[in-house]
Structure formats: structure tokens, C-alpha cells
Amino acid sequence: MRRTPALRALIRETDLAPRHLVAPLFVKEGVAEPLPIASMPGQSQHTLESLRKEASEIASTGVLAFMLFGVPERKDAEGSQAWNPNGIAQRALRVLREELGDDHVVIADLCLDEYTDHGHCGVLDEHDQVDNDATLERYRRIATAQAEAGAHLVGPSGMMDGQVAAIREGLDTAGYTDTVIMAYAAKFASGFYGPFREAVSSSLSGDRRTYQQDAGNAREALHEVRLDIDEGADIVMVKPAMSYLDVVRAASDISPVPVAAYQVSGEFSMISAAAANGWIDLRTVALETLTSIRRAGADFVLTYWAVDVAEWLA
């Protein structure tokens, strides 16, 4: 049954196609040309114009969805540029909608870490601890600004308690009842986020272990998934993907809504580095890892290899 490629294709249980991939993109305010991200080969912080061109080229390969991360010129303690209608993320969302329309899916990262001068995913109280409820009010503002700018989906990634319910209420009150919420339901405090922090010019000092999940806790992760679904999440996500395939599988088993997984920057970069040294074959390993994430139960995967994989599969 494995003798020929046709036989293997006939009985293959898990499919991988361009429609299963989401391409993350970074846009940076105040730069005149794209800036390569040293720790993430092939990825850049884009200008608005280069973002438009990159998205168009990726779309032509069959990839349907894009996840946008904004990098502002100015940061403050509140992260106010995150909901500024003329902030870099909102301008970039409008560019993507103009370029792609409704033929593709534009997703906005909904968080504060790229926008705060302290680098946390929420506002801080007088003890320099993240204030959950005060942060929810900012998330409502961000969601509304992103929906107004044209986001089909918003992706709250801060792991604040009650974030999905607060965002749903904010969107519905503003009239954006059709805007989809893709909740980062099980986001772990991981060492695999390192290159991403370069990509978004993070100001973080310390860590986020007081609100992101502990790597040892699978039952807690499923509890978070259920809470987000109960609050109205349309899609739930597990992040990172490769070290948490058991959580992806378990979430898929219990979830009545689609499950996404994020193959994060560190996963991408370590494989890229090994391939650059000739220790592994990049194409083989990239396809293998993405297939394993799909096999574990992910309906789609955010990956920095989206365009490469789409071209390989063509």
C-alpha cells in the first residue's frame, strides 16, 4: 500500500493544503523599506506598500488568510496606539482589505504587548501587575477599531480572564455582530516566542507567566478552551503548536468550534537554522511538522512557511 506515490496519496488520512494555512505578517510604522527580521529568515517588518505587495503575492499561491501584527513608532503605558483609528495596524488592515476584499480572510492580532512601553499584554496597576479588568476595557476599544478598519476576524491573544465575552459585547454594541473572534484559548508561557519579540520590537522586561499558561498543565488548558467557547469564541487556538500537540488533540476532541494552532517563531527559526546548517531538509521537515499539527486535530495552522508550503504543494 506504500509502493507508489499514487497509492500513498489514495489512503492518506491527513490532508495538507494551502487553505489550511494562515500567513502572519508584520507592518512597522516609520520605516521607508522592509526590514528583514534576523532571527526569522525570509520574514520582514513591512511598510504599508510592501505589505500590500507581499499579501498579493501570497494570495496568488492559494493561501486564504493573513494574520496582521502592527509595530508602532510610539509606545506608552496604556498601549493607546492599538486602538488609534490612524494607528499603523488600522491603516494596514485597510490596505489589506482594499487589496484582498472578501476573497481572503484578514485577521487582526488583538493585544497590547506590541504597543505598551513595558511590553505586557495588558495595562499595569500601581504594583506593576497586569490589571485584568482594566485591560478588558482596552480590548473592547481595540476590537472596535480593528472591525472598523476591516478585519474579518480579531484574535485576542492576551489570555485575560473574560476577554472573549468583553470583546463580543464591545463588537455587538458597536454593530459589528458579524466580526469573528478567534480566541487564543490555550497560550502557554513558552521559550519559543523569542524571535517573535524581535519581529514586534518588544519592550518586555521579565515574563508573562502570571497570565499565560504553565507548560505542564493540560487540564487547565482545556478549562480555558471551554471558558472561551462558553463566552462566544467562534474559533479557539492553541499556541505554540509542536510542543503541545496533545493539547491540540484534546481541544479538538471537545470543541464544537474550529481549532487553530500556531507554529510559532521559535519553532520556525530552529528548523530554519538546522536546515541552513545542512542537518535536515527544510521542505521535508516543514511539511512533516505541519502535517503533524493537522493530524493532531488543527483545522488550520498559522505558520511562517505558508507561502513556501503553498508553492511546494502546487
All domains in the chain, ordered by first residue: 17-236+304-313 (3.20.20.70)
DSSP state of 64: -
Residues 6 or more apart in contact with residue 273 via CB below 8 angstroms: none
What residues are annotated to the active site?
187, 239
For residues 36-53, average pLDDT: 97
Segment among 110-119, 279-288, 304-313 with least mean pLDDT: 110-119
pLDDT band at 193 (very low <50, low <70, confident <90, very high): very high
Give the pLDDT confidence of 73-82 residue by residue, as tens digits. Answer: 999 999 999 9
CA distances from 68 to 25, 71, 105, 108 (A): 5, 10, 11, 5
CA distances from 194 to 60, 109, 189, 269 (A): 30, 18, 11, 10
For residues 162-179, average pLDDT: 98
Amino acid present at 68: L
- In the chain, % helix, strand, coil (3-state, to 5) comes to 45, 20, 40
Write the burial class of residue 212 (CB in 10 Å: 0-12 exposed, 13-18 middle, 19+ buried).
buried
Rounded CA separation 11/152 (Å): 35
Phi, psi of 130, rounded to the nearest 5 degrees: -65, 125
Segment among 148-152, 202-206, 225-229 with least mean pLDDT: 202-206
Q: Please say if the pLDDT value at position 166 is more than 80.
A: yes
Start-end of H helices in the chain = 5-10, 48-59, 88-100, 132-149, 163-173, 194-199, 218-231, 245-254, 265-276, 282-296, 306-313
pLDDT band at 51 (very low <50, low <70, confident <90, very high): very high
pLDDT of residue 205: 72
Rounded CA separation 213/217 (Å): 7
Per the prediction, the chain carries an average pLDDT of 96
Residues 6 or more apart in contact with residue 41 via CB below 8 angstroms: 269, 272, 276
pLDDT band at 71 (very low <50, low <70, confident <90, very high): very high
Strand partners, 294: none
pLDDT of residue 118: 92
Work out the percent of the chain whose per-residue pLDDT is above 90: 93
Do 105 and 79 form a contact (C-beta atoms < 8 A)? no
Kindly report the number of other CB atoms within 10 A of residue 132's CB atom: 17
Rounded CA separation 282/306 (Å): 13
Do 154 and 110 form a contact (C-beta atoms < 8 A)? yes
Residues 6 or more apart in contact with residue 306 via CB below 8 angstroms: 18, 21, 22, 23, 24, 58, 63
pLDDT of residue 66: 98
Do 64 and 23 form a contact (C-beta atoms < 8 A)? no
Pairing between β-strand 44-46 and β-strand 35-36 as defined by DSSP bridges: antiparallel
Rounded CA separation 136/231 (Å): 14
